[in-house]
Amino acid sequence: MTGKKDITIYDLARVLSLSPATVSRGLKDHPAINIKTRKRITDTAREMGYRSNSFASNLRMQKTHTIGIIVHELKSQFISSVLSGIEKITTEAGYDLIIGHSSESYRKETSNAHNLFHKRVDGLIASLAFDTTDMEHFDPFVKKGIPIVFFDRVEDFPYGTRVIIDNVKAGYEATAHLAAQGCRRIVHFTANLGRNVYAGRLKGYQQALADYGLTFDPALVMVNDLSEAAAIRAARQILSMNPRPDGVFATNDFFAAVFLQTLKENGLRVPEDIAIVGFNNDAISRIIQPKLTTINYPGEEVGEQAARSLLDQLTSPSAAVASAKEASARTTDTIIIRSELIIRDSSLHRKV
C-alpha cells in the first residue's frame, strides 16, 4: 500500500493563494509576514499535515543538528546520568542525539563510529569499550574536522577533548580511607588495566598503600569483568583465603554491593570483619545494608561538560572544518571533573 504524498509548501501556497516564498517565511515566523497571515499559514499547515523537510534544509547548510554518542554500556546508572546531562544541554541548543551502544566490544564501537560518520553527525561524544586497542575508527572525524569529546574511558589521542575525573586521586582516597580505618590487607577489585580509569585507580591504590606503610601484593589486585557473577565468585574467593583480607576497594558500586551481600549471606560481618569501598555513588550504594562508602563520580556533570565543550567547538569560528593536517595536529584538551569520597557504614568502626 502506497502512503499519502507529503504536503509541500507549494500545496499550502495553492490552498492559501499565497506565494511559496510567503508561505516559507510564514512557517519560519519571519517578521516580514504579518501576524494574521503567519497564523493562517501555520493553522493550514497543521490541518493539512505539513511536515517541514529539515533533512533537505540541513543538507543545504551542511549541518544535520545531530550529535553522535557512543557508550560502552546502557544499563549503567553512571552512563544513564551522563546521557541525561548531555541531553539537557544539547536539547536546549536544538540538537538531536543518535546513540550507539558498543556493548564493550571494539568491533561494535568501530561499526558505531562508521555509522555515525555516514549519518553526518555534527560532532561526536564517546566513551571507549573494554577492548578498544586503537583509535583508527575515529580518523574520518579527524580528517573532516568534526569535533570529538571523549569521556570517562579515554585514550592518548592527539585530537578532541577529554572529560574525566582524577582517577589516581580517587583511587588514593578510597584506599587511604580503608588504611586509616585500620585495614592492613586491602584487596583491589578492578577491570581491564589497559583502560585509563582502572589503571589510574590502581596507581592511586598503590600510592596509598605506600604512604600508609603497607606492602603492595600483586595477588591482592584482582581483575575481572565487574559483572554480578564475577562479584559472587570474588566473594567466594575471599571467603576461602587465609589470611583473609580485611579491606576491599572495588572500582564499581554494583560489583561492590553484590560482593557485600554475598559475604553477608556467608556469615561475614561488614565492616567488622571486612570493610568495603565502592566507586560511582550509584543508587545501590545507598540501598544496600550497610550503606556503601563510595567515590562520587558525578555523571550528569560529566555529560553536561562534554556537551558544552562539543557545542563550544561547533559554534566557535575556530571549529570550522580543518584540513586533515591541521586536524591531526590539534592538541587534546582535558577537563577534570571533581570527585569525592562519601563515607558510609560499610567502611567505618574498624578497630585500629
Q: What is the pLDDT of residues 150-189, one digit of tens each?
A: 999 999 888 899 999 999 999 999 999 999 999 999 999 9
Q: What is the pLDDT of residues 41-68, one digit of tens each?
A: 989 988 888 877 655 555 555 688 999 9
Q: What is the mean pLDDT of residues 64-77?
A: 92
pTM value is 0.81
Q: Which of 292, 231, 283, 310 is CA-nearest to residue 65?
A: 310
pLDDT attached to residue 46: 85
- What are the chain's domains? 9-52 (1.10.260), 65-165+299-338 (3.40.50.2300), 167-297+341-347 (3.40.50.2300)
Q: What is the grid cell recorded at 104? A: 564493550
pLDDT-derived band at 30, boundaries 50, 70, 90: confident
Question: Which residue shows C-alpha cell 545507598?
Answer: 286
Q: E strand or H helix at 98, and its extent?
A: strand 96-101
Q: What is the grid cell recorded at 102? A: 558498543
Q: What is the pLDDT of residues 290-344, one digit of tens each?
A: 999 999 999 999 999 999 999 999 987 454 444 334 444 444 689 999 999 999 9
